[in-house]
A and B are shown apart, each in its own frame.
Chain A
Amino acid sequence: MLRLTKKDISLLVVVIVLTMLAPFLLNPFPSDSGLAQFNAGYPDLMQKFVIFGIFAIGFNILFGLTGYLSFGHAAFLGVGSYAAVWMYKLVSYNVLPAVVLAVIVAGLFSVLIGYVSLRRSGIYFSILTLAFAQMSFALAYSVLSNPSFNLTNGETGLQVYANDPQIFHGDHLPNFPHLFGLSMGSTYKMAAGAWEFQFNVAYYFCAIFMILAFYLSMRLVRSPFGLILRAVKTNQTRLNYTGLNTRPYTLAAFVISGMYAGLAGGLLAATDPLAGAERMQWTASGEVVLMTILGGVGTLIGPILGAGFIKYLENIFSKINDNVLHQWFSFMPDGIEDLMVMIIHPFVGKGWHLTLGLMFMLVVTFLPGGLVEGGQRIKTWWANRKSSDKAGKPASTPAE
């Protein structure tokens, strides 16, 4: 019924189950244990996981399939956020129209940039997209926030003020992004023994979008359209010689992935009604590139894994300070405790960038296919182990 193969359906089901149960799965450690530091099951981070997951899935449609490496995708995310917040400011805090507008605006913006940039390929294309994004960032940061024409509110970020029109906003509605009155900030906390699990409306709202986005990208990859895109990656010239004009296809891929970015931007604004210019900076564009490569270019699940990996490091490792380290190692004798803290200290807290950099290097060096390859290797190893247990069978079962 979903027009998917069995294998894809099982993957989709796995993704659905994982995202739906994330509040449990990401909170494996009891709240008062020292390891609670590693829990990621709080609303903000879970939202970031799925939103950047969407961003990376979309990016992968362009980069993974066609091989066109855009270095300016953050511009679409930023534009989406601005569109959504403007919707809040002018119409109402309802997230649905805001997200829809975000996708539309990002789509239009990507038609514009894509049309121009796709006239070139390879690194020339990358630099064109980078240039457009950096221009958008610079303008949003300063020029477009001048007092007479304040479109972006510059450094502080666009936000809703009490004197904004908000024509459909009523007193009975929450003063926060909401879905027909259900506030995005609502969280149901479930205490279960030493654990506390948080179920947040915005998270599930975004998670549903991510599942849809994932399903859509799956369908896209398996469609004839996806086949053409992959042919573009393999040999565009040959494709052109067959009489096929590839430009409309690549442009379509570009716009689709731009709309994904816009969706992610809109959802960011749905979880938090503020849109800052730095979302468009080249570092943000670079981040999604890194997420995709880290997870596994061209794979379905890879980009989501990459996004989760980077956001986890950013939010969890940066919060580990010396105090926490001393707590962890307090069971050791004083001298050894201090030594352990000294060894780990440079990699956490203010040194989390160092861990990030090392991880990039290690993953790409030893797992050329990204995290997905890591998963496959474990699977292979597991399968081999199991099959070698069964003495009769040869241990050469090819792993998929």
Chain B
Amino acid sequence: MDAILLQILNGLDKGSAYALIALGLTLIFGTLGVVNFAHGALFMIGAFCAVTLQKVLTLSTISIDPEKKDFLGQPLKVETPYVHNWFGEATGSSIIEWSVPLAILFAIPVMMAVGYAMERGLIRHFYNRPHADQILVTFGLAIVLQEIVKYFFGANPIQTPAPDTVSGSIDIGLMFGFAENAIIYPIWRLVYFAFAFAIIGAVFAFLRFTTFGMVIRAGMSDRETVGLLGINIDKRFTFMFGIAAAVAGLAGVMYGPINPPNYHMGMDFLVLSFVVVVVGGMGSLPGAVLAGFLLGILESIASTAWATTMIPGINQIIIYLVAIIVLLTRPRGLMGRKGVMEE
């Protein structure tokens, strides 16, 4: 029982990342009708916002310590971060330690700007082009973004640890009356889940309860009519592209402490997130979120020992198998709309 509960937690956690990326993809797709293969790269850039902030905060002065030797036997160069000099060692260290949460503040404007620049500078010219062209250009863009990050940060993963107070794990089983040590879970993963939940809630609330959101929803279902009403829908859609980029970016920032970011992490998620979007149903935001969590949980459960002994290799193929079953039984995914991307 507790084993299954743990796997469900794992699944919710993986699902959070899938859902956040898929949500952004669907937003872009639903508003602008663009298949964005660079969305994984946006997730990656978000994670590297945290890396960059961490690097900036640890910018250091170099002093020579003649007592210690480096690997060549020469006096050791000791690096002291500027923030240590400015705020004292204790405060300085804790600022560096909190670089991931701080990066959220940094990432929102950066990602909005990246999204805006992408839409205005490139994607805009592809609205009336075939989906194949959109795939080619955004895939090219994804490669370019990746390579730029690789050029500056290398190919090796870079640790972006969570602050001490929220790293490590807690025994949440105790709170719900389970035996001690039955359900122990890392705090940051719980934070990630809660964060994803909040972001998803915020996006839905924004679309549901604001006038701006209402116009967007109207535009998604009938762009032409909204345009005829004299509303500049393009401008709003550009803004939504920024929002979608920010959602992917934040998913990336917060993902850093779970798995250290590297330059190709976006590609690892890209194909999976497309599967999620399609299983959820093209153009459906709730569908994308639902499918994200569903596939996350199924993936976790399929990797348990009893699943793999029952069907060897099931953990390798579960997501694709589920995708096939869903698409064959429900032609437009879980909650897809008729006529979207079917031609």
In chain A, residues 80-131, which have Cβ atoms closer than 8 Å to a Cβ of chain B? Answer: 116, 119-124, 127-128, 130-131
CB contact between B143 and one of A69, A130, A131, A360 (< 8 Å): that residue:
A360
Contact across chains for A142 and B136 when beta carbons are under 8 A apart: no
Query: Is A124 a contact of B327 with CB atoms below 8 Å?
Result: yes
Q: A127, B278: Cβ atoms under 8 Å?
A: yes
A253 at the interface (CB under 8 A from B): no
A297 in contact (CB, < 8 A) = yes
- B143-A351 in contact (CB<8A): no
Q: Which residue of A lies closest to B143 (CB)?
A: A357
B282–A142 touching, CB < 8 Å: no
Residues of A within 8 A of B139 (CB): 286, 290, 357, 360
Give the residues from 286 to 332 in chain B that come closer than 8 angstroms, CB to CB, to chain A.
312-313, 316-317, 319-321, 323-324, 327-328, 331-332
Q: How far is the CA of A121 from the CA of B274 in the complex (A)?
A: 16
Contact A139 B313 (CB under 8 A): yes
Closest chain B residue, CB of each to CB of A122: B342
Check if A294 is an interface residue, CB within 8 A of chain B: yes
Give Cα A236 to B339, complex, Å. 13
Pair B333/A124 contact, Cβ less than 8 Å: yes
How distant is the Cα of A131 from the Cα of B318 in the complex, in angstroms? 10
Which residues of B from 96 to 150 have beta carbons under 8 Å from A? 122, 125, 129-133, 135-137, 139-144, 146-148
> Which partner residue on chain A sits nearest B316 by CB separation?
A138
Say yes or no: A357-B328 contact (C-beta < 8 A), given A122-B342, A127-B275, A138-B317. no
- B interface SS class: helix
Taking CB atoms, residues of chain B closer than 8 Å to A219 are none
> Is B71 interfacial (CB 8 A cutoff)?
no
Q: Which of A170-178, A335-343, A361-369 lies on the face that meets chain B?
A: A361-369
Contact A368 B129 (CB under 8 A): yes
* Interface SS majority for chain A: helix
- Which residues of A (223-251) have their CB < 8 Å from a CB of B? 236
Q: How far is the CA of A294 from the CA of B320 in the complex (A)?
A: 28
Q: Are A127 and B274 in contact (CB under 8 A)?
A: yes
Q: Report whether A293 and B136 are in contact in the complex, using a CB–CB cutoff of 8 Å.
A: yes
A181 at the interface (CB under 8 A from B): no
A346 touches B151 (CB 8 A): yes
Contact partner of B282 (CB less than 8 A), chosen from A119, A123, A128, A135, is A123
A64-91 contact mask (Cβ, 8 Å, vs B): 1 or 0: 0001010000000000000000000000
Chain A neighbourhood of B319, CB < 8 A: 131
A356 to B132, CA, bound (A): 17
Q: Which residue on chain B has the smallest CB distance to residue A138?
A: B316
Query: Could you say which of A289, A293, A351 has the most chain B C-beta atoms within 10 Å of its C-beta?
Result: A293
A363 to B139, CA, bound (A): 13
Q: Are A124 and B278 in contact (CB under 8 A)?
A: yes
Query: Does A119 contact B328, Cβ atoms closer than 8 Å?
Result: yes
Query: Chain A nearest CB: distance from B113 CB in Å?
Result: 20
- Say yes or no for A134: interface residue by CB 8 A criterion: yes
Given A346-B151, A361-B137, is A135 in contact with B342 using a C-beta cutoff of 8 Å? no
The residue in chain A whose Cβ has the minimal distance to the Cβ of B322 is: A131
Shortest B78–chain A CB gap in Å is 31
For the complex with contacts A123-B131, A128-B328, A297-B132, 13 further pairs of A-B residues with Cβ separation under 8 Å are: A63-B132, A67-B343, A116-B324, A121-B343, A124-B341, A128-B327, A131-B320, A142-B313, A143-B316, A289-B132, A289-B135, A353-B146, A354-B148
4 shortest interchain CB distances as A-B pairs: A360-B140, A357-B143, A143-B313, A131-B320
**Residues of A participating in the B interface, judged by any CB pair closer than 8 Å:** 63, 67, 69, 116, 119-124, 127-128, 130-132, 134-135, 138-139, 141-143, 146, 236, 282, 286, 289-290, 293-294, 297, 346, 351, 353-354, 356-361, 363-365, 368
